[in-house]
Structure 1
Amino acid sequence: MSEKVSTPGSKPRIIRRLGPLGPSHHEKLVEFWELAVADTILQHPLLQVGIIGRDTKQPAWVQIDHIDLTKHIKWRVVDNPEKYEDTFKQTLKEQLDTKYDSPETQPSWRMVVFKLEAENLLEVVYVWSHSNSDGTGGKIFHETLLQSLNRVRDDKNDLVWENHLVKTIATAQNLPPPQDSVCNFTISPSFAVTLLWKEFRPQMFAPKLPPHKLRAPIHLTPTGTQSRRLCIDNATLQNVLAACRLHKTTLTGLLHGITLVSLVSLLKEEAPATIISETPLNLRRYVSSSPPGYPGLEPTKMIGNFVTKRDHDHDQVLVSKIRDLARGASSESEQIAALEDVMWSVSTTVREELQAKLDMGLKNEICGLMKVVGDYRDYFKEQMKKPRHATFLVTNLGVIDGGLPSETSSDKTQDWTIQRAYFSLAANLVGPNLTISPLAVKNGPLMIGVSWQNEAVDTNLGEGAVAGLKTWLNHIGSKQ
C-alpha cells in the first residue's frame, strides 16, 4: 500500500500542534527551577553538606564546594494523562526505597519534578535523609521553595549559580546546632534511672509482649515500602475540624482514634492486646531566636532535626471493648454508630496527652539523654532484637501556606502556589508498623499518606487503615 508524500510547495498536513512544553520552553523552565532550588538550599546549610563516618561512632558533617543540581533534580514529563498516576506512584516507591549516592560528596536530598505535558502544573517529589532533617524540615523546604519561585527571575547576580552548579556557603559557624546545644533539657534522677533501665535492661527482665497481628515481627532485610494516599477536600476538612473542636480534640487526636478503631475492627477473631501508637512533636517551639552562640538563628525557619515523640498506650480493656463493639455490627453504618463514642474518647485522650507533654516543656525529655548512648550502631542492633514497640504513628506537620486564595478572597496573590501537599515516610525496620502522615494546604485539601514495610505488615491491614480513614473522615465531614 502506498501513501501520498508531501512535495515541496504543497500545504503541510498538521498532525497536532506542539504542547506548551516545547524543547525551548522546557529548557527555560529547568533553568528557572534550578535557580529557585539554588536560592532555597543556600538558605539552609544542612542541605549543602556531606556526611562522613556514617558507619562509625563519630559521624561528621563535611563541607562541599559545589553542588551539581543535575545529580539532585530529575524531570518526568508525562505525555499521557492516563499514565500519570501510575508513573507517579512507581516513582514515589522507588524514591522512598533508594539510598543516597556518595553521601560523603553529595548532600543527601533529591527531587523528581513531574510535568503533565498539556498542563501548567508541576508535582514535586522531594526526598531527604533523616540525618539532614526531620519532617518539619521537609515542610520548611517547601515553604522556602515557594518563596524562591515567586522571587527568583532571570537575574542571577545575587546567586552563586552557573551551569547547574551551586557554590555552597555552609560553614561550621552557620550550620544549625544539635538540639542539645540550644534546648535546655532538665532530667530528674528518677526519670533517668527508669528510662535507662527500660532501654538497656537484659531481655530476661523485659515484659513479654503477647504476639499480635498488629505488632509485626522485625524484618532485618529491607523489603520495600508500600505507600497509599487519600485526599479530603477543603469543605469536608472544615467540617472535620469543626467536629474536632466540638469534641475538644485536634486532627492529630482524631486520626489516632480513627486508626485505632479501624485496625482493631479488622481483628474480630484475635485476642485483644495493648496497642501503642506514637506522635512526633516539634521541639523548635522551645528554641529561642538567636540563642547564645548562634546569632541570626530562627528556629521556625530552620531545617534540621528538632523532634521528639509521645507514646499513647491503648490498653487491653479498651482494645477488647472496640473489638466487641465491632463484632456486634452487621454493616459499616452500624459499626460507625457503635464505635463513634469510643473513637472520639480516644481522640480526646490523645489530645490531652499531647498537651500534657507540651506543658512539661523540656523537663524529663527523652532527647536530653541521647548523649548517654555512646554508639548508636550498637543501640539499633539491640533494638532489632526486641519486639516491635508501636503499631502506628501519626505525624503532626499541620498546615502549609501555599498562597491559595480563600473562598472570600478569590484573587490570586502570587504567580506560584501550592495546591496540595503530600507527606510519606519510608518503611521503618524497627519503628511502627504503619505511619499515618496528614498534611493540609491552607484553603486547600488535606492529603494523608499511609505507608508500611512490604511483607512485614499484612497488606490487608494497611489497606484497611486507608479505607477506615476515608470512611470515617467522609462520615464526620458530611455533617454540618
Structure 2
Amino acid sequence: MERWNIARNHVKFYNNVAVTATYNVPRILLQQFGSRGIEGLVYAALKENLSRQPILGVTIDDEGSTVPRWRRLSSIDLREIVNVVSADPNASADGWVQNSHRTLFPTTGELPLWRVVVAFQESALTEEGSHVSFAMGFFAHHAIADGLSCAAFHLTFLDALNSLVESPSAGPSDLNEVAMVNVPNLPLIPTLEMKAKLSISILFVLLEFIKAFIYNPIDSLNWSGPPVNADHPRPPIASTRSFSLTPAMVSKLIAKCRAEKTTITSLVTVLTARKLALMYPDHKSFTGTVPFSLRKFTGHSPKDMGVFVTNVTQTFSSEANPSTKHMSGAPSPKGKLPAAVADDEKLWDSARAFKRHLDENTASTHNQHVNMLKFVSDYGSYFLGLLGTKRAHAFEVTNIGIVDGGVGGEEGKATFDRVMFSAGGCAYGEPYVVFLATARNGYMNAAIGWQSVVVSDEEAKDLLGYLEREMRGLVEQ
C-alpha cells in the first residue's frame, strides 16, 4: 500500500489527503507564547507529536523506482511546513482547505511528507473568555496516512496540547529555535501487510485478472463520467465544498439510522446514487465505492498512523426492477426528493441492503481488493496505463466516523468539536467523492470533492445541496 501511494504521487495522479479540526484551548496556554502565541503553541505541540508518531519524521528516497525507501530526517524546520492563515476557525474552512489541496505537495528532499495549515484570527487574543479557538488542517501524503490516520494525528496532537496544559512553561525565548526540531529515532510501526493476513482465493484472482486483461465489457448505460484524460492537469485541481450538521441534528440522524437498522454511511451512499440517477437520466446504473479500514485486523490502536484501507463496491440501478447484481438506487416518485418524500420505505430498504453488503464484505481480510497489489510489478506503469480508460466508479462515499475531541468546554483542557475530512482528487478517480466526519458530541461535516474538468461546478454543488436538504429533512420532520 505504501509503494502504491508513493508511485501514484510520483506520476502526479494524486496529491494529498487531509483532516481538519477546530480546537478550543485555554487562553492562558496561548498567552505563554507571547505575541507569536499561535506559532509557538503549534510548534511546541508538533514537536511533542513527532515523539508519538514515527512516520511524521520520514521522507522518500528513490521515489520513482519500484523499490522506494523511507529515510528518517535528522531534523525538521517547522517554519517550512506550518502556514498560518487569517480566517475564522468556526466558519467554513472550504476556501483554505481547497487551496491547500491544490498546492503541489513535495515528496522528496529534506521535508517530511505532511504539512499543517492553521486558521486563526489575531483578534481572538484580546477577546474575553477562558478559551481561544483555532482550526488546523493536517495534509499528508497518502503513503503515510489514510483518512483515519489523519484523524489519529489530531488525537495525538490533542494529547500534546493537553501535555502542555499540564506542564506549563514560560514559552520560547526565540521562536526560530523552537521551530527547529530534531527527529526522534523511533521505529516505524508495522505495515498492513506485516500485521494482517491478506489471503486471496484462486477464483478471485482469476476473475480480477480476466476483468483487467481479457474481457470486461463496457456498459454504455453505466455512468462514471468522462474517460481518464491525459490532458487534464496533474496533480488534479480539486474543488471542495462542505456543510455541517449541528450536534442535535447528528444525534437525531444517528438515532434514526439505528432505528432503521442501517448506518449514516449506507444512507448517504443510497442518497448519492438516487441523486445521480436524477442528474444523468440517460444512464441506468451508477457504481459506488466505499473505502473502509482494515486497522481492526492489524492490532494497531486508533492513534497509530499508517495506511490500512481498502474498499467495497456496489452498482445501483435506477430501474424499477433492478437485476440481482444491482441494488435499487431509483429516485422516488415524480423524480423529486423533497424532505417529505425522502423518508420513504424504499430508501430505508436500500440503505439496509447496502449495510448488509458492507458488513459481509468487511468481515475479514480475505479477498479484498488491496490483496491484489502484490500482483502489480510496476505501479507507475499501471497508473499511466489507465489514461484513456473508463473510470471504474461514479462516486465514492468515505466516512472516518466519530473522532473523539474530548468534552467541549471542559475546564482547563484543550478540545476540538469540528472535524472535516477531504482529499486533493485522483486523476483516475470517481467524479464525485463524498467525505463524512463527526466530532464526538460535536458537529458532523459532509464535504464533496470534484474536478471541474470531469464534472461541472454546478453539478457538484447540486449534489451537495441535495444531500444537505435530505439529511436535514430526515431530522427536521
Secondary structure at the aligned position of 2:35 is classed as helix
- Identify the match of residue 450 of structure 1 among 448, 451, 459: 448
The CA distance in 1 between the partners of 2:219 and 2:170, in whole Å, is 61
Partner of 2:379: 376
Partner of 2:169: 154
- Identify the match of residue 191 of structure 1 among 165, 181, 204: 204
- TM-score norm. by structure 1 comes to 0.82
Indicate if the aligned counterparts of 1:265 and 1:322 stay in contact, CA closer than 8 A: no
Partner of 2:220: 210
Indicate if the aligned counterparts of 1:76 and 1:113 stay in contact, CA closer than 8 A: yes
Q: Quick check: 1:281 aligned with 2:258?
A: no
Secondary structure at the aligned position of 1:206 is classed as coil
Q: 1:389 to 1:93 in 2, by over 3 A?
A: same
Give how far 1:91 is off.
2.5
Letter in 1 for 2:438: A
Aligned length: 429
Partner of 1:264: 277
Secondary structure at the aligned position of 1:396 is classed as strand
Give how far 1:276 is off.
0.7
Partner of 2:117: 112
Give how far 1:308 is off.
0.7
Letter in 1 for 2:151: K
Letter in 1 for 2:308: F
Indicate if the aligned counterparts of 1:264 and 1:319 stay in contact, CA closer than 8 A: no
Indicate if the aligned counterparts of 1:238 and 1:477 stay in contact, CA closer than 8 A: no
Letter in 1 for 2:148: T
Secondary structure at the aligned position of 1:92 is classed as helix
Q: Quick check: 1:71 aligned with 2:58?
A: no
Partner of 1:408: none
Larger gyration radius, structure 1 or structure 2 = 1
The CA distance in 2 between the partners of 1:60 and 1:156, in whole Å, is 37
Indicate if the aligned counterparts of 1:275 and 1:319 stay in contact, CA closer than 8 A: no
- Identify the match of residue 398 of structure 1 among 383, 401, 404: 401
The CA distance in 1 between the partners of 2:331 and 2:152, in whole Å, is 43
Partner of 2:148: 136
- Identify the match of residue 181 of structure 1 among 161, 185, 194: 194
Pairwise CA RMSD of aligned residues? 2.8
The CA distance in 2 between the partners of 1:457 and 1:23, in whole Å, is 48
Q: 1:237 to 1:206 in 2, by over 3 A?
A: same
1:47-126 equivalent positions in 2, closer than 5 A: 47-78=56-87, 88-101=93-106, 103-119=108-124, 120-126=132-138
Secondary structure at the aligned position of 1:379 is classed as helix
The CA distance in 1 between the partners of 2:225 and 2:320, in whole Å, is 17
Give how far 1:385 is off.
3.3
Partner of 2:354: 350
Letter in 2 for 1:340: D
Which 10-residue stretch deviates more, 361-370 or 338-347? 338-347
Give how far 1:216 is off.
3.0
1:170-201 deviations in whole A, cap 9, x for unaligned? 45xx11222111111221211121122222x1
Indicate if the aligned counterparts of 1:423 and 1:449 stay in contact, CA closer than 8 A: yes
Percent sequence identity is 21
Give how far 1:41 is off.
2.2
- TM-score norm. by structure 2 comes to 0.83
Indicate if the aligned counterparts of 2:288 and 2:394 stay in contact, CA closer than 8 A: yes
The CA distance in 2 between the partners of 1:230 and 1:466, in whole Å, is 8
Gaps of 5+ in 2: 1-27, 125-131, 323-327
The CA distance in 2 between the partners of 1:183 and 1:24, in whole Å, is 44
Gaps of 5+ in 1: 1-19, 289-297, 406-410
Letter in 2 for 1:121: S
Q: Quick check: 1:388 aligned with 2:391?
A: yes
The CA distance in 2 between the partners of 1:241 and 1:435, in whole Å, is 21
The CA distance in 1 between the partners of 2:33 and 2:49, in whole Å, is 25
The CA distance in 1 between the partners of 2:211 and 2:190, in whole Å, is 29
Secondary structure at the aligned position of 1:352 is classed as helix
Give how far 1:206 is off.
2.2
